[in-house]
Amino acid sequence: MPVNLTAPQASSLLPVRGVKLGFSEAHMRKANRKDVLVMTLVEGSKVAGVFTLNQFCAAPVILCKDFLAQKPGVRALLVNTGCANAGTGEDGLNRAKQTCDALGNLLHLQANQILPFSTGVILEPLPVEKVIAGLPAAIANLKEDNWLHAAEAIMTTDIVAKGTSRQIQLGGKTITITGISKGSGMIHPNMATMLGYIATDAAVSQSALESIIHYAVNKSFNCITVDGDTSTNDSLILMATNLAANAEITEASKDFITLRDALTEVAIELAQAIVRDGEGATKFMTVTIEGGRDVAECRKVAYAIAHSPLIKTAFFASDPNLGRILAAIGYAGVERLDVNALKLYLGEVLVAENGGRALAYQEEQGSAVMKEQEILVRVDLARGHASCTVWTCDFSYDYVKINADYRS
Amino acid sequence: MPVNLTAPQASSLLPVRGVKLGFSEAHMRKANRKDVLVMTLVEGSKVAGVFTLNQFCAAPVILCKDFLAQKPGVRALLVNTGCANAGTGEDGLNRAKQTCDALGNLLHLQANQILPFSTGVILEPLPVEKVIAGLPAAIANLKEDNWLHAAEAIMTTDIVAKGTSRQIQLGGKTITITGISKGSGMIHPNMATMLGYIATDAAVSQSALESIIHYAVNKSFNCITVDGDTSTNDSLILMATNLAANAEITEASKDFITLRDALTEVAIELAQAIVRDGEGATKFMTVTIEGGRDVAECRKVAYAIAHSPLIKTAFFASDPNLGRILAAIGYAGVERLDVNALKLYLGEVLVAENGGRALAYQEEQGSAVMKEQEILVRVDLARGHASCTVWTCDFSYDYVKINADYRS
């Protein structure tokens, strides 16, 4: 069950002026579920995207990057679940393109004004005819207050729909931000079968939007991991419709930071929701590394801990087998680490120092922390001032079950 | 259950002249099991060791390296299970030293002539008094044909004892090689809660012995992974007693390669046995990467595949979800990889080429291979002539169960 995560109320996902969402049941893989999503953007909207670094990136990712580079004025997004259209070569590109052509014909847009996204099984051909057959129904129900339906339409192994909204004031105008995400396995920094869509009605320059998306992704989706796998299809899209009547935000605006931080908060909440819904998750772990020489070495240690199946199974069992954490710190690859100087904390409890168990530490203290659903692992490397935080979940029987059975 | 692995017959593990083995039940962690092992070496034996690269290496590892550097003429090895004596700081060093002192007194040796080894739970103090109390019984039953008992005495979560022997001819003399190993979880290149002891009665120079152990470990223990964790205690020891009356083997001897390859064969068999007994393993996977620019990039791809929980659970389920393998190749970190040029094979079946599924591939072919207990995954990167092979196992419910329950 997801860790402290429930689906948002439909009413809590605020409409963003200029963004409409429509969905349909196209029987992509299973019956009776929404599996095609169409989003439309009012003319003049600005769009920025970041995508997986996986070299086997999916056909829709290749098209998205290509279309965004053409600066065609993106006016619609098309998402399907059930098939990732990845590992599909030239044929996959043609199929993704066909779906854009079809939606373009229906909406009177050029194909390159439509960004395509797919998530699901890799290495299978996209059933183009099913996607296309689903488009008229999706277009017919395009509405501004369909965000919850949209969040549901992009789910795969997700247990709960993920979405959140914020409102802020910029220059006396109320700005709305709403975002949705999906993903629960194959989650890793640099993202992984993770889709995220965040829209705002703020007026923002293209350059500021690009700056914000890179800042936000590094503070959010690039700080989560479920199983260390980086997917072929990860995409995060940030959209601004310019309808809020605020003065256009540029990187020089005094309100730039306000907007950036609000969008980043939404990205963090959506990213953490993915971990909370991690396949088989029963615990939400925050791994914070402090006192590093640079952020890179902090991240090495954080991910050594967050990826270790031995540590993740011990957390599942609420077993304070802390030696496994020390072992992970030891093999993380930090040069000339002084194992006698570092300190390891579980929650507020000092667990290890001077190269071994802290003298005052009692196993009951560790057990008490391990029984919580939200656990902080903190390491002070005691060699500098850099820090980082990574979020992950534990590793349970259900992780194996879900991933052994995924295609059956 | 271990994959195609059964414990050796006692008679199949050949005595090595000059090596005696004794064991006892010291109640280190559980009653009624051998948990202390003493090995003695005839005077004049040569010893070489390689150890974990984990910076949180255990106290006995620190002592072993220190003692070997002192070139004291190692005459005995002392192994305990139940406690790893790792993450134990200065106190752990003192405790390990005390056990060497005690065995030294009983055998009339200096403490630095004794190499200590521990395996078990990390971060707990070594119960020195239990180890010492177990020594007299172990010494009392020192015998040359106790290899199977020795293999059993070093087991932790291992299901079956691991050992093998070979005999070769060097210059008209019969040379015996016998080795034992333990380890089943936390297994990774550069070794991990893995102990290996290989003895031969050949006369070998110290320099040749060092050369052979590094060659052998790179072809064996550094090519296996169960869960990607590198332990604090891994040690491989190669011992040569000089009693076979052969002309001493140096790196210049014409028989050097013969001896090296025989010892390496033993090391490979012992290393593969650890994977076959991997925690919860139901499949033995060989991952071979060919056509790389260098071995380093081949290993990146091999380990990306061998470490992926998504791939390992799919193998457990006999599900030819080959897209997960393509995804792993894609995120392995090979620079400027041409995904359209590489080829992926499952067993003899060409699965993917031209960036997607091979035209002739039928899912039934993949399913048939996945149902086997021994599976070959082969990738041709098509960009050079380097290659590597890594062995791993699948990821099952039992892996989670074993590691969630390990300390209970």
A285-326 tens-digit pLDDT = 999 999 999 999 999 999 999 988 888 888 888 888 888 899
Closest-CA distance, B396 to chain A, in angstroms, reads 6
Residue A5 lies inside a defined structural domain of this protein: no
As a whole number of angstroms, the distance between CA A369 and CA A3 comes to 16
Q: Which helix (H) or strand (E) holds B51?
A: strand B46-51
A253 & A304 share domain? no
What residues in B contact A120, CB-CB < 8 Å? none
- Say yes or no to pLDDT of A229 above 60: no
| Best of A54, A55, A357 to mutate (most B CBs within 10 Å, chain B) | A55
Q: How far is A166 from chain B (nearest CA, A)?
A: 34
Is A52 in the same domain as A141?
Answer: yes
At A405 the pLDDT is 60
Which residues, in sequence order, are bridge partners of residue A287?
Answer: A377, A390
Q: Do B28 and B157 have their domain in common?
A: yes
Clarify whether residues B288 and B151 are in a common domain: no
Question: Is the Cβ pair A339, B53 closer than 8 Å?
Answer: no
Flag whether B2 is in a domain: no
Cβ B310–A185 below 8 Å, yes or no? yes
Give the chain A residue whose CA is nearest to the CA of B56. Answer: A330
Is the same domain home to A236 and A324? no
Q: In chain A, whose CA is at the least distance from the CA of B402?
A: A313
To the nearest whole Å, the CA of B173 is away from the closest chain A CA by 43
Minimal Cα–Cα distance from B253 to chain A, Å? 38
Q: Bridge partners of A46? A: A240
Nearest CB to B227: which of A309, A314, A397?
A: A309
Q: CA A140 → CA A16, A35, A241, B242, distances in Å?
A: 19, 15, 21, 86
Distance from CA of A26 to the nearest CA of B (A): 23
Amino acid identity for residue B397 in this structure:
Y
Report, as an integer, the average pLDDT of A120-145.
95
B131 and B233 fall within a common domain: yes
Same-domain pairing of A269 and A308: no
Is B47 contained in some domain? yes
Query: Which residue in chain A has the smallest CA separation from B324?
Result: A122
Q: Which tokens go with A191?
A: 């993202």
pLDDT for the residue A408: 41
Q: B363 to chain A: which residues are within 8 Å by CB?
A: none
B72 and B198, same domain (yes or no): yes
A25: tokens are 């049941």
Output the CA torsion sign for A201, A206, A208, A211: positive
Per-residue confidence (pLDDT) for residue B190, from 0 to 100 = 36
Q: Which of B122, B330, B397 is the closest to A56 by Cβ?
A: B330
Which residue in B164, B160, B58 sits closest to B117, CA to CA? Answer: B58
- Residues of B in Cβ contact (< 8 Å) with A349: none
Please give, rounded to a whole number of angstroms, the shortest distance from the CA of B219 to a CA of chain A: 21
Q: Which residues of A touch B324 (CB under 8 A)?
A: 122, 229
Chain A: give the shortest CA distance to residue B22, in Å: 30
Tell me how crowded residue A355 is: count the other CB atoms within 10 A of its CB.
21
| pLDDT value for B376 | 97
Strand order in the sheet with A386-393: A224-225, A386-393, A284-292, A374-380, A343-346, A349-353, A356-357
Chain-chain contact of B331 with A395 (C-beta, under 8 angstroms): no
Q: Do A91 and A19 belong together in one domain? A: yes
Which residues in chain B are closer than 8 Å to A355, comparing Cβ atoms? 56, 87-90, 92
Closest CB from A56, A89, A406 relative to B329? A56
Nearest-Cα residue of chain B relative to residue A331: B54
Alpha carbons A398 and B350: distance in angstroms, whole number: 32
Name the token pair of A44.
């003049």
Cβ neighbours, 10 Å, residue B108: 8
Residues 6 or more apart from A321 whose CB is under 8 A from it? Answer: A310, A311, A314, B121, B122, B123, B406, B407
In a domain, B3, yes or no: no
Q: Is A355–B89 a contact, with Cβ atoms under 8 angstroms apart?
A: yes
DSSP H or E segment with residue A189 = none
pLDDT of B208-250, one tens digit each? 999 999 999 999 988 887 655 567 788 999 999 999 999 999 9
Nearest to B113 by CA among B45, B207, B23: B45
Q: Does one domain contain both A268 and A288?
A: no
Neighbours of A254 (CB within 10 A): 9
Residue B269, domain member (yes or no):
yes
Using an 8 Å CB-CB cutoff, list chain B residues near A190: 331
**Which residues of B fall within a CB distance of 8 Å from A90?**
354-356
Nearest CA in chain A to B340: A89
Q: Is B206 left (phi over 0), alpha (psi -120 to 50) or beta?
A: alpha
Q: What is the CATH number of the domain that holds A24?
A: 3.60.70.12
Neighbours of B380 (CB within 10 A): 18
Contact assignment for B326 to A89 by CB distance below 8 Å:
no
Say yes or no: A222 and A325 in one domain.
no
CB contact under 8 A, A404 and B313: yes
> What's the gap in Å between the CA of A133 and the closest CA on chain B?
25
pLDDT tens readout for residues A58-85:
999 999 999 999 998 999 999 999 999 9
Count how many Cα atoms sit within 13 Å of the Cα of residue B194 in the half-sphere of its side chain. Answer: 40
CA A167, CA A162: separation in Å to the nearest integer?
18
DSSP A272: H
For residue A398, being part of any structural domain is answered with: yes
Is residue B78 within 8 Å of residue B115, measured between CB atoms? Answer: yes
Contacts of A191 in chain B (CB under 8 A): none
In chain B, the residue whose alpha carbon lies closest to the alpha carbon of A313 is B404
| Residue of B52, B54, B56, B57 to mutate when probing chain A, most A C-beta within 10 A | B56
Chain centre to alpha carbon of residue B301 = 21
Measured CA to CA in angstroms, residue B230 lies from A332, A355, B56, B182, B192 at distances of 9, 18, 10, 15, 5
Q: What are phi and psi of A143, to 5 degrees?
A: -150, 155
Token readout for B380 is 């041709």
Last residue of a domain, one of A217, A252, A276: A276
Max intra-chain CA distance, chain A? 71
The residue type at A115: L
Which of A324, A336, A359 best tests the B interface by mutation, with the highest count of B CBs <10 A?
A324
A222 in the same domain as A169: yes
Tokens (6 digits) for B277 = 């007994």
* Domain limits for position A298: 284-405
Regions of chain B where pLDDT drops below 50: 186-192, 407-408
CA-nearest residue of chain A to B329?
A: A56
* Token pair belonging to B293: 């620019």
Task: Give SS3 for A392.
Answer: strand
Start-end of H helices in B87-234: 89-107, 128-140, 147-153, 206-219
Residue at a domain's end among B222, B245, B276? B276
| Structure-token pair, residue B127 | 């119960």
Boundary (domain end) residue, out of B276, B296, B321: B276
Q: How, if at all, do strands B284-292 and A195-200 pair?
A: unpaired
Q: How far is CA B394 from the centre of its chain?
A: 18
* Residues in a beta bridge with A165: A178
Question: pLDDT value at position B54?
Answer: 83
Q: Which residues of B are catalytic?
A: 193
In a domain, B132, yes or no: yes
Of B87, B337, B396, the CB nearest to A356: B87
> What three-state secondary structure class fits B55?
coil
| Interchain CB distance below 8 Å, B334 and A55 | yes
How many residues are given for chain B?
408
CATH code of B352's domain: 3.10.20.340
Quote the tokens at residue A288: 């914070």
Find which of A310, A315, A316, A383 to mutate to test the B interface (most B CBs within 10 Å of its CB): A310
Give the strands of the sheet with A76-83, arranged side by side. Answer: A19-24, A36-41, A76-83, A114-121
Measured between its terminal Cα atoms, the distance across chain A in Å is 21
Total domains in chain A come to 2
**Is residue B256 classed as helix, strand or coil in its secondary structure?**
helix
Q: Do A90 and B354 touch (CB under 8 A)?
A: yes
Q: Quick one: pLDDT at residue A192?
A: 44
Q: For residue B56, give the nearest of A84, A227, A330 by CB distance.
A: A330
Q: Which residues contact B17 (CB under 8 A, 6 or more apart)?
A: B42, B144, B176, B201, B241, B243, B244
For residue A1, tell me if it sits in a domain. no
pLDDT of residue A224: 83
Give every strand in the sheet of B173-182, ordered side by side: B46-51, B235-240, B195-200, B173-182, B162-170
Looking at residues A333-362, what average pLDDT do you find? Answer: 93
Considering the candidates A40, A164, A193, A282, report the single residue annotated as catalytic: A193
Confidence at residue B189, expressed as pLDDT on a 0 to 100 scale: 35
Q: State residue B192's pLDDT score.
A: 43
